[in-house]
Amino acid sequence: MAKFQVNILGCGSATPTARHQPSCQVVDFRDKLFMIDCGEGAQLQFRRMGLKFSRLNHIFISHLHGDHLFGLPGLLSTMGLHEVSGSVTVHIFREGARLMKEWMDFFNRNSPFDIVYDVIEEGERRIVYEDGGLTVETFPLYHRTPCTGFIFREKPKLRHLRGDMVKFHSIPIASLQAIKEGADFVKDDGRVIPNAALTTAADPSVSYAYCSDTMMDSRVAADIRGVDTVYHEATYDDSMAQRARERGHSTAREAATIAREAGARRLIIGHFSKRYNSEEILLREASEVFPDVILANEGLRVDLE
Amino acid sequence: MAKFQVNILGCGSATPTARHQPSCQVVDFRDKLFMIDCGEGAQLQFRRMGLKFSRLNHIFISHLHGDHLFGLPGLLSTMGLHEVSGSVTVHIFREGARLMKEWMDFFNRNSPFDIVYDVIEEGERRIVYEDGGLTVETFPLYHRTPCTGFIFREKPKLRHLRGDMVKFHSIPIASLQAIKEGADFVKDDGRVIPNAALTTAADPSVSYAYCSDTMMDSRVAADIRGVDTVYHEATYDDSMAQRARERGHSTAREAATIAREAGARRLIIGHFSKRYNSEEILLREASEVFPDVILANEGLRVDLE
C-alpha cells in the first residue's frame, strides 16, 4: 500500500524536558514530507528519525506560541546546508510570517531555496495544499490565541478493475483508466456496460487530523467528522480539568470525547504537561471514553493506512 | 576556593548532530551564571547540567550566526516560566538586538523579567559587565562576519593576613579589611607597620578567554595575553587548513599556536566540524604545539581556579 504515516518528533508542551521535546510531527505521504509545528530541537529529531530534508517542502504552524515554532530558524538554516533547493512553504498566521521573514532575511540570506509564506487567516477553513494524491486543509481550534488545525486527506482512489469482466467485454487498454476513475464502458454496438459491473469499490481514502492546541470544543468534532485518525492534545488528566479550560487546553478524557463525537477510528494523544513522569493516567482516562488510543512519544511512527 | 568554572553546553559547529550541540557555554563565577552563545537546544542542556535559571542574568553573544543564538528565544521563554525576575541582559551586536527584540516583544510579551540589550559595536574593546569580583570584556575576533570574544577576569583578590603579626601589633578588627586590601597600619605612637610585614600575597586572580568563531590571528593572542585558560575554536584538522581560512575558522594547531603566543596556561578546544567522529586528531595536533589541551564536550565542567 502507498505510504501514509505520521512521525512524532515532539509531543511535550511549553518547554523541552528530559522526557519530551516540544510539538513537532512529520506526515510522510508517499515519501513527500509535511511538517506540522516545529518546536525547538525539531531539526535534530528529524535527523534522528532518518527523515530527509530534501523531501520536506511544506511546514504547517498551528499557532504563534514559541514551543510550536522556535525550531524553525534552525531547521531552515540547516536545510540550506543540505542541498535543499526550489522552495519551502511555511503555512502560518500573518504575524508569524512577518517575524519569520525578518529573521530569515537576515540569518538565512544565503539560503539556496526560497522560503514562501502562505498566510493563514484566523478561523479560516481552506485547502492550503493540494497535489495529485493529497489535500491539506485548515480549520479553527480554540486556544487562548488564534490556532488552526490541519486535516490531511488522501484523494479518492481508483476503483479496482474486475479482470474477468474486462476480458469478457474485450475492453481495450486505452479505456481502462477512465473505467478505474468510474466511467461506464460503451461497446461498439452502443450497449453501455455500467461501471459497477466492471469494477469493485476503491480502497477507502485515509485521513488524519491534527488538533493542538485547543480546549475541548464540539466544533472541532464537527470539522473533523469522519476522519480516520485524530491527533488531539491531552495536556492534563481529569483532576486538572479546570486548569485545562483556563489555559485553553484539553484533558485526555476530553480529547477522547472529541474523537468519539467525530466518529474517528483511532486517537493519538500528546502535548503532555511536564508534570507527568508517566502518561499512563492519560491513556487510562482517554480509554474509558474511546477504544483505540495511542500515546504519542518521540520516535513513534504511526501507519495511517 | 571561590567557584569559577566553565560549563560546556555545546561545542559543535553549524548544525546540531548526534555528537554535538551548537555553541553554548556557561561560566559560573561564585554561583552567578554567565552564558556565552546560545545555540539551539541550550535551554535543555542548561537543565541537564543542573544549572539554575534564576542565577542567569547575563548572556553574551559572539556573533550573528544562527548556531550561536537560535536557542535564545526558547531559553528566554522558558526562563519566564521559571520565576526568573528582575532583568536579563543580552550583550549582542546591534542588528541582533533589533531582531531579538522583535521576536521577544511578540513571543515573550508576558515575560516576568525585563530583557535588556547591551549593544556591542564591531571591533569594540570594552568592559561589558562588572561586579565586585569580576569583569567581562570584549575584544575583536576575525571571522567572516563581525565577531567578538569575551574575557572573564577575576578582580584582584585580598592579601592574606599574617595572624602572628596581627596579634603582635594588637591590630583592631576594624583595621583588618584595609590591610587585606594593601594598606599599611599606623600604630597609636605614629609608627607605620608596612603592609608587607602584615600580609602575604593574595591568591592570583584567574581569567578565562572565549575565542569563537575566528581564524588564527596574532591580534587575538595580543588581546588575551596572560589569560589563564583559553577556549579557542578548532573547527578543523591540519588537512583542512585552507578551508579553515576560507570559512574564517581555525585548525586545532592554530588554536594551540594562539594559546602559546598568549602565554596561556591551558587551552580548551571546541566548535568541532561535524565531519569528525572522534576529535582525537584535533587533540593530537594541538598538543604538538601546546602542552595542556582539553577537548570540549557536552557536559564537561572545567574548574578555572
Summarize pLDDT for B230-264 with one digit per residue, the tens: 999 999 999 999 999 999 999 999 999 999 999 99
The predicted model gives B100-123 an average pLDDT of 96
Instruction: Please give the pLDDT value at position B4.
Output: 97
The predicted model gives A284-295 an average pLDDT of 98
Strand order of the β-sheet with B56-60 is: B114-120, B87-93, B56-60, B32-38, B24-29, B4-10, B301-303
Instruction: Please give the pLDDT value at position B1.
Output: 59
Q: Is A105 a catalytic residue?
A: no
The catalytic site residues of B sit at 67
Max Cα-Cα span within chain A: 74
Cβ–Cβ under 8 Å, residues B181 and B232: no
The predicted model gives B50-69 an average pLDDT of 97
The predicted model gives B35-62 an average pLDDT of 97
Cβ–Cβ under 8 Å, residues B10 and B42: yes
The percentage of residues in chain A with a pLDDT greater than 90, rounded to a whole number, is: 95
Flag if B74 and A40 touch (Cβ within 8 Å): yes
Helix then strand then coil, in percent of chain A rounded to 5, is: 30, 30, 40
Residue closest to A10 by CA, chosen among A50, A43, A53 = A43
HSE value, Cβ hemisphere, 13 Å, CA-based, for B286 = 30
Confidence of residue A26 (pLDDT cuts 50, 70, 90): very high
Flag if A74 and B108 touch (Cβ within 8 Å): no
pLDDT(B277) > 70: yes
Instruction: Please give the pLDDT value at position B256.
Output: 98
Averaged pLDDT score across all residues of chain B: 96
A77 touches chain B (CB under 8 A): yes
Cβ–Cβ under 8 Å, residues A207 and A153: yes
Flag if B41 and A43 touch (Cβ within 8 Å): no
Averaged pLDDT score across all residues of chain A: 96
A101 touches chain B (CB under 8 A): no
pLDDT(A1) > 70: no
Strand order of the β-sheet with A293-295 is: A127-130, A134-142, A146-154, A207-211, A229-233, A266-270, A293-295
Kindly report, residue by residue over A249-264, the tens digit of the pLDDT: 999 999 999 999 999 9
Residue of B9, B13, B15, B38 to mutate when probing chain A, most A C-beta within 10 A: B15
Instruction: Please give the pLDDT value at position B14.
Output: 85
The predicted model gives B134-156 an average pLDDT of 97
B4-157+203-303 belongs to CATH 3.60.15.10: yes
Closest residue on chain B to A43 (Cα):
B16
Give CA–CA dist A124/A122, Å, rounded: 6
Measured CA angle at A102 (ends A97, A106), to 5 deg: 140
Instruction: Please give the pLDDT value at position A18.
Output: 87
- Nearest CA distance, B233 vs chain A (angstrom): 20
Instruction: Please give the pLDDT value at position B274.
Output: 94
Cβ–Cβ under 8 Å, residues A66 and A93: no
Confidence of residue B56 (pLDDT cuts 50, 70, 90): very high
Poorest-pLDDT segment among A176-185, A191-200, B14-23: B14-23
Closest residue on chain A to B109 (Cα):
A65
Whether residue A213 has a cis bond before it, omega within 30° of 0? yes
Confidence of residue A273 (pLDDT cuts 50, 70, 90): very high
The predicted model gives B209-226 an average pLDDT of 98
Give CA–CA dist A49/A35, Å, rounded: 13
Instruction: Please give the pLDDT value at position B17.
Output: 87
Q: Where in chain A is the domain with CATH 3.60.15.10?
A: 4-157+203-303
Q: Element (H or E) spanning A266, and its range?
A: strand A266-270
Instruction: Please give the pLDDT value at position A86.
Output: 93
Poorest-pLDDT segment among A34-43, A295-304, B7-16: B7-16
Q: At what angle do helices B72-80 and B94-107 cross, to 10 degrees?
A: 40
